Structure 1
Amino acid sequence: MSANPEIPYPPHDPGLWVFGYGSLMWNPGFAFEERVPARLLGAHRSLCVLSVHWRGTPERPGLVLGLDRGGSCVGIAFRVAPERSEQTLAYLREREQVTMIYRESVRRVWLRDGSARSVPAVAFLVDRSHAQYAGSLTHEQRLHHIRQGHGVGGPNRNYVLSTRDHLAELGIRDGEVEWLAERL
């Protein structure tokens, strides 16, 4: 399988698919018809976004996940009924695009349900040109931001620990998240 470029959404809408790789996996906040483990190629999960709203403030930014280019990511694909597609997209844009750090994209994901199906899914990829992109931080710098971060969504520490726990429940290993969680 090759890189995963943006693809157009299909004209015959069987419903909207949404790819979750962080808190959307356990707290989607929208109604869905189907929840399936899935793999997205061409991007990986990374704590690379300075959070100045949900898990930090402008003065004391926290750190949250982004889908950064390269590699692959196992997460959850959610199928939303066609009649709820617009409402779900509006909700996701409000939740994910507070500071416009993500690029909304439709990417192909491979469902891990034994069907060998792939579906186009909305995913939010980090914009490396945005001021909040923090992909070059060291582990220690990431740990500092996580320890200091506290925003509208609560302590940044809780976000990282919850991410670790939910990834483990799904059988997903993430070395970066595990290393940071062990030190919190």
Structure 2
Amino acid sequence: MVARGAGAAVGSRADEQRQRILSAAVGVFSRRGYRATSMNDVAAEVGLSKPAIYHYWRTKQDLLVQIYESVLDESLDRARVIVAAAPSPLEGFRGLIVDRVAYTCEHQDLLKICFEEESELPPELAEPILERRRAYEAVVHDAVQAHLAGTGLTLPMAPKAFVNTCLGAANWVYKWYDPAGALTPRELGEQVAAVLLPALG
């Protein structure tokens, strides 16, 4: 039992250090851009030597991939919970939009990387990330389709195009949201949802 506990502690410390490095990379990538950032820059940000960084992360690209995977996995988990808890598909869609706006406002540095650095991923690494994105979009699309099927309503555009339009509006707030402004992330999300929902009747 002592050995197992000690091993768990070592593993926990390693995981904590990996997370510290990843958080530092998010800050540097967001400020300087992925291509202009070196592993030396990440090491300096977190206060470690470059060899120490490589003990936890093999390449700068590994850090970038992990950022994408973490954001998309968390987004998908949140979306599924929201839809499952919603009393109706329409409320599920509303909750998804509110959450997407709030999450984007609260993680502007992460979303800046995700939206602006995708071209840095080689195709073999980009495809699994795109699959995660498609899975998230499918949750939103399914909520819209369920609402339309249940009400007999139609949209003036294809449901997929409508979903992409709504998510585009929600995601773009990373560019302009001001944390020092009058609205909290969730308040802005509620306003965005209030503008988009009338299209669904």
Please indicate, yes or no, whether the TM-score normalized by the shorter chain is above 0.5. no
Q: TM-score, normalised by structure 2?
A: 0.23
Tell me which protein shows more strand as a share of its residues: 1
Structure showing greater relative contact order (alpha-carbon pairs closer than 8 Å, 6 or more residues apart): 1
Tell me which protein shows more helix as a share of its residues: 2
User: Rg bigger for which structure?
Assistant: 2
Q: TM-score, normalised by structure 1?
A: 0.25
